[in-house]
Chains A and B, each alone.
Chain A
């Protein structure tokens, strides 16, 4: 049985599954239920200064569904906690006392003045929480007040506030990053420079969920108007994974611990975050969709997976995929693959054909001797994988590597040597560059 215990920047928890700072962690009642269900830790819903903010009294959520009503993406216009500070602090203290083995991290967001941070840090310390998370991410409502994403989008502020916190408390400081910026490495480097113990990402992505076509208002709609919210759930996972990998592979931040957030719904999602360098994961939407019980399978699935693979400690997975993340220019251009269709599995829907025919390389037949027949024409196939992605039958089309002979498309012999763009003859900055022949204008 694999050991799922986690130690993230000195914060211990029985497993690496934490609930992200959000409604599931807004009060003792929810958090106690979460701990009973088996969650390893929580980041308490973001605290601010009194008087508490107020939330809208209409709908705060919007969603994207598949046709069978599975929730794919969730969008919200909720703010930080709307309960008085002392109530939250008292509850945090009680819950931590009753659940000493669980991670209790407190998310914070106060105005960008040193004294404000000093005040709140002292109050949090008194709860005996395990650490703090700086919410520099919330994209709506708070940023208009110069907090949340408004701080997260300015690297100098990120660094400054992080430094204040490190200076005024001994608790580990996790900086939660907003994805609403063009290069995630910049605020990550700033947090690192400010002395952060870790970063966590992503917070929600600025979004408009949908537009009502009768009222012509964005949804969710409140009294005829709508505003942008923050997007999360399964749909944001690929974006978050990429951002995580950028931090994990950046020379400056490669050693900075990461708490992975964004669309984690299953143990598999969690392992992917771990493999890309996260020490643990945080979950919000999946819990809001299914309730706290989902952690059972996260724990169980992770443990089965680790046993299967022979991992005994979660740490062994962390960063395992990082060395395989590279830049496009280093991909091996001599690696030739062709699509191959398993005729026994093919159900003859023709989707591969029409996708390749209309939008790619005209490399799949549709007829043979008057019968529906789908077969790859190696002379045309560029190995793009589109047909694999559109085929409704899993594993019916596979990409097979050519290891010998000649690529029938290019007529080039297959080479087992590695060669990438940096040395390619078409690359103007490569030593092997051969300029295109210039065509003399006719006189």
Chain B
């Protein structure tokens, strides 16, 4: 138990320069040509391939893999970009073990799926290294669309709209485009400033005007956008975070995982980031594993993820959990936070152990306490609807997020939405891309009608 008088052990520069480089380099390095050849040969070129059905953007996987095998990597990349213009980022961040690779017949047969994600990265990286995005714009339609949010959903939507000949203005509240690709994804998944390179690649189609530093609800209103543009797409992501609802939550050292990661992603001097010696992360999703991994890699000694249900219920995939465990992160399950112990700054946190009572989670009354110099909240994000302007109330919500139909159309006749801010679908980059694509197609039909 921490002594109350002792100061929290939080400091920067815990590691040698080499360690930072090693810890934050590419987690899964790019395949070389020979490795890609060998791996591509493992694909059976399935008929009606299950992997394609499992890809949210329906990339023709056997086709692009075959194009790698026949030494046609540019053709392969085009096959990918046709369905998913952010195929480069998705190749890095998709939880493939829960998507295409989970249903690959070789996973089913022998527990060793074709490495679809890594092959996708092989094709797209080599393409992006020497060529611009491959699509041409259709003849100008004279229509204008406002896209709010330049994350994966907004970028995908804007690109597809531009390809159909519409003019797009892409608004983003932040300084840089890319959304969580730029500010949220774990650093070791997207190294070398790939997010910005990809933004440039996408915008390369032309017809998209990027307006950064322009927030809906602060600099522009929804009503104004609906007046000035022929259609509006909302892809503003989730600006808020869930609170623990415990006293002492505002103590120093109790932090929001997403904003810490944002700082980490934006600094080019990792050794200036203060990090605690003992860290407790609360949550069970990818944000939880990501903050745990990254603080551990910044030199924290003891990092524990505490999740209130069983490990099988964690949103972070098995692979992400194993990755965390090999990084040296401890995962504790069936424990819910009860009390924060702080003396100005946080010193420890007490949990009550939980049990599963026929599907209902109930406390056992037993508690344990973990010392902590930092406690990270990673228990989900929320739509910051209050910040999106008073007229945003015209948009119908469902479970706190925007309600859309299967075409990603909201209740308003000229407003579409997609990505994390809508109530449907998992919060994944690839799903945001698909939302943007579907919405763009529907907006296109609407504008041409």
Contacts and interface: CB of A to CB of B under 8 A. Distances in A.
Given A351-B46, A366-B47, A67 B38 contact: yes
Interface in A335-379: 347-351, 353-354, 366, 372
A351 B69 CA distance: 18
A372 B49 CA distance: 10
B321 interface: no
Interface stretch (B101-109, B191-199, B340-348): B101-109
A182 B44 CA distance: 37
Contacts of B38: 67-69
Given A67-B69, A69-B34, A349 B46 contact: yes
B48 A366 contact: yes
Contact of A68 (B41, B48, B106): B41
B69 A354 contact: no
Interface string A73-106: 0000000000000000000000000000000000
A393 interface: yes
Contacts, number: 39
B37 A349 contact: no
A392 interface: yes
Nearest to B38: A68
Q: How large is the interface on A (under 10, 10 to 19, 20 to 34, 35 or more residues)?
A: 10 to 19
A66 B41 CA distance: 9
A399 B69 CA distance: 31
B50 A67 contact: no
A354 B105 CA distance: 16
B41 A350 contact: no
Contacts of A393: 109
B294 interface: no
Contacts of A69: 34, 37-38
Contact of A67 (B41, B44, B108): B41
Contacts of A351: 44-47
Contacts of B47: 349-351, 353-354, 366
Contacts of A354: 47
B40 interface: yes
A372 B41 contact: no
Contacts of A366: 47-48
Given A67-B69, A393-B109, A349 B44 contact: yes
A347 B109 contact: yes
Contacts of B46: 349-351
Interface string B19-53: 00000000000000010011011001111111000
B419 to A, nearest CB: 31
A372 B108 contact: no
A350 B47 CA distance: 5
Given A68-B41, A392-B44, A348 B34 contact: no
Given A67-B69, A349-B44, A392-B44, A372 B37 contact: no
Contacts of B69: 67
A366 B34 CA distance: 34
Contacts of B48: 350, 366, 372
Nearest to A65: B37
A348 B108 contact: yes
Interface in B406-430: none
A349 B109 CA distance: 10
Given A67-B69, A366-B47, A372-B50, A349 B105 contact: yes
Interface string B39-73: 01100111111100000000000000000010000
Contacts of A67: 37-38, 40-41, 69
A210 to B, nearest CB: 12
A117 B306 CA distance: 90
Interface string A387-398: 000001100000
A393 B41 CA distance: 15
Chain A CB count within 10 A is highest, among B47, B48, B69, for: B47
Contact of B108 (A68, A347, A350, A353): A347
Given A351-B46, A353-B47, A354-B47, 20 more contacts: A66-B41, A67-B37, A67-B38, A67-B40, A67-B41, A68-B37, A69-B34, A69-B37, A69-B38, A347-B105, A347-B106, A347-B108, A347-B109, A348-B105, A350-B46, A366-B47, A366-B48, A372-B48, A392-B44, A393-B109
Interface of A: 66-69, 347-351, 353-354, 366, 372, 392-393
Across the A-B interface, give the 7 residue pairs with the lowest CB-CB distance, nearest first. Answer: A350-B47, A354-B47, A347-B109, A67-B41, A67-B37, A349-B46, A347-B105
5 contacts: A66-B41, A67-B40, A350-B47, A351-B46, A351-B47
